[in-house]
Structure 1
Amino acid sequence: MASEQCSFNQRWSLKGMTALVSGGTRGIGAAIVEELAGFGAEVYTCSRNQEELDQKVQEWQAKGFKVSGSVCDLASREQRKHLIHTVSSLFNGKLNILVNNAAISKMGKSSDYEAEEFSRIIEANVESPYHLTQLAYPLLKTTGNASVVFISSLAGHVALPAFSVYGSSKAAINQLTKNLACEWGNDGIRVNAVSPFSVRTAPIKLSENGEGR
């Protein structure tokens, strides 16, 4: 059994690889960071909460993981650019893995959504990961063996009550995944989406508009 476990770890080693995980301090994002780092990857992540970011990075580093990060509001195009610039500098212009995890959701009747609410969800769940992936493209292409993973949702495949806008945003991500997989395959970049259902996550401090990210 021990030899089988050793062989498994060697087979799946990510030693020497670099990864960027957006929104990696809680829930699915935190689990992804820990899993990638556990297999030997050097991981960079971001959060809007400095205190939460510092706490998680300290925990990971105490386990011997190579994890670092910075505060970034992914709703800002300029901060997205700065994030990729930081990652490029840290990883010498190369990136093996990009995980687009950060997103927002809001329950509500379709007839009740305000224009600003609709725009905010589409911006966070579609425009932000799309733009971040665009910015990361040169870094991914340089490696010749890269992977992009979008965290989608079951809501992007089936109708769920009170999630019409969120579901639409994730359906857009599913289509984006297919298109990028076709476009970037010849560049050595794999593009996939994972569609989980609801996941129990630690309580989050809500912003003034009542949303979490």
Structure 2
Amino acid sequence: MWNLKGQTAVVTGGSKGIGRATVREFLDLGAKVIFTARDPEHIQKFEEELKAEGFEVTGIEADVSTKSGRDEIVKIVQEKWQALDILVHNAGINIRKKAKEYSEEEYRKVLEINLVAPFELSRMLHPFLKQSERGTVINVASAAAMQDVGTGTPYAMSKAGLLQQTRSLAVEWAGDGIRVNAVSPWFTETPLTEGYLSQEEKMTPILNRTPLNRVAKAEEMSSIIAFLAMEKSSYITGQNIVADGGMSINAI
């Protein structure tokens, strides 16, 4: 049961960061994977690298915030598998600004990609997850969903909404044999955070606030995601695993 042999998985935002680590972890555990991204060059390079190692993987160019992008994902799943065992919503963005500085277009974009897209894609892929009879949805949320961590209000709003989406769908879809859970990382080494974490005035307070005194690696998040995808976690649904190096229990 400590494997994903023969299982099918879709990972959005799968060419970088936590998504990339998750794709590789799933493949190492025996799953067949479709991953999405928006940059065709990154997709092709990662897909070729994985196929050269003998993995069954397909990378597709799809913007999950658009209907056409979501339609493409559903089309490929239907063509390849008919049933889907695992759906990981990892694609996300952030625009860091003060609340009054956002344009409507900017904050709606954050909400559209981080919150609306997972809801829409989950609904569209529900028949395939139900067909699996052991379907599981895993949402990559954030520590920002539960407390202010300086990432900007729209991002925090989107991730807080994603947690409630997790809980509500877990109850609604339990009868269909579908589990829904979330993982909430604190700062993690990814391309999304690279520029931010490279600033000493930003990194120092983060480390001071974190008992483990470091930020996470993407592989530390992908291992939690893999566990939630396994039959070993079959009695866990509607939950949020906080992986923050102890930050949230530190009163400093």
* TM beyond 0.5: yes
Show structure 1 runs of 5+ residues with no match: 1-10, 205-213
Given that 1:109 and 1:162 are in contact with CA atoms closer than 8 Å, whether structure 2 keeps it comes out as no
CA contact (8 A) 2:93 2:192 kept: no
Matched, 1:18 2:28: no
User: Of 29, 33, 48, which residue of structure 2 is paired with 1:43?
Assistant: 33
Displacement over 2 Å in runs of 4+: none
Which of these residues, 150, 163, 167, is aligned with residue 178 of structure 1? Answer: 167
Provide the aligned C-alpha RMSD in A. Answer: 1.3
TM-score calculated relative to the size of structure 1: 0.87
SS at match of 1:82: helix
The answer as to 2:44 corresponding to 1:54 is yes
Alpha-carbon distance in 2 for matches of 1:104, 1:183 = 27
> Which amino acid is the alignment partner of residue 150 of structure 1?
N
In the other structure, the counterpart of 1:115 is 104
Q: Cα deviations across residues 48-82 of structure 1 (Å, max 9, x unaligned)?
A: 11111011011111222211111111221122112
What letter matches 1:182 in structure 2?
V
Superposed, 1:62-73 pairs within 5 Å as 62-73=52-63
Name the CA shift for 1:162/1:23 in 2 (closer, same or farther; >3 Å). Answer: closer
- Answer whether contact 2:111 2:158 (CA < 8 A) is retained: yes
TM-score (norm 2): 0.74
The answer to whether the Cα contact below 8 Å between 1:96 and 1:143 also exists between their aligned partners in 2 is yes
Aligned counterparts of 1:73 and 1:175: Cα–Cα separation in 2: 23
SS of aligned partner of 2:190: coil
Identity, % of aligned positions: 37
Residue 4 of structure 1 corresponds to: none
Q: Return the offset for 1:162.
A: 4.5
Matched, 1:29 2:26: no
Q: Post-superposition shift, 1:163? A: 1.4
Q: CA deviation at 1:172?
A: 0.1
1:84 aligns with 2:74: yes
Contact 2:144 2:151 in 1 (8 A): no
> Using the alignment, how far apart are the partners of 1:24 and 1:142 within structure 2?
24
What is residue 97 of structure 1 aligned with on the other side?
Answer: 86
Return the letter of the residue paired with 1:20: V
Report the secondary structure of 1:122's partner residue.
helix
Residue 130 of structure 1 deviates from its aligned partner by 0.7
CA distance 1:82–1:106, change in 2 (3 Å)? same
CA shift digits 1:14-67 (9 cap, x unpaired): 111100000100000000000011100000011111111011011111222211
Instruction: Specify the SS of the correspondent of 2:136.
Output: strand
How far did 1:12 drift?
A: 1.3
Is contact 2:145–2:163 with CA below 8 Å preserved after alignment? yes
Q: Which moved more, 1:107-116 or 1:170-179?
A: 107-116
Select 2:135's aligned residue among 139, 146, 154: 146
- The alignment partner of 1:195 has SS state of strand
Q: Distance in 2 between the 1:44 and 1:172 partners?
A: 26
Measured in 1, the distance between the counterparts of 2:149 and 2:185 equals 13
